[in-house]
Amino acid sequence: HGAGFTYAGIGPDYRVLLRSARKKAQAYELTHGESMPIRRLATEVANLMQEFTQSGGVRPFGVSLLLVGKDHDGFHVIQVDPSGIYFPWKATAIGKGMSNAKTFLEKRYSSEWELEDAIHTAVSVLKAQFEGELTEKNYELGVCREGGEFTVLSEEHLKDYLREVE
């Protein structure tokens, strides 16, 4: 199964956490012969982030994360804050403009959504919150599919979705 991460905050901190998550996921797969459950992966990352809030001589990570994926328990969207607290969501946003984006999602979210509905809503949220012109060159969108694989959509797909939400 695949998992996808995105972040809001300090890029180098994100890369440190992503590298740690990859190592932990690989070690789990070698030991157990299956992919690490998404909630377990979130817990591992959150524990590392929390550890840095209490340790002397190091600063806390300056990043919030969104972790998405599918495992044997279904689809997951999990937010991990710099303090090490993590929350499961059906739909959420992090970063600049997150309050407005969350309000937008609360009004539009439906448990009956198909993948295309979710993508259109995500693009609409990004477009509403983006300062300047949103183009296929200045955003990325990742998708976790039914089989569990996580992929980043091509610029051509992004361009098509932008046209569809206008």
pLDDT digits over 49-101, tens only? Answer: 999 999 889 999 999 999 999 999 999 999 999 999 999 999 999 998 899 99
What is the number of H-type helices and E-type strands within the chain? 5, 6
pLDDT digits over 99-152, tens only? Answer: 999 999 999 999 999 999 999 999 999 998 888 888 999 999 999 988 888 999
What does the block give as tokens for 46? 């959150």
Strands, E assignment, the chain: 3-9, 63-71, 74-80, 86-89, 142-144, 150-152
CA 136 – CA 126 distance, rounded (Å): 12
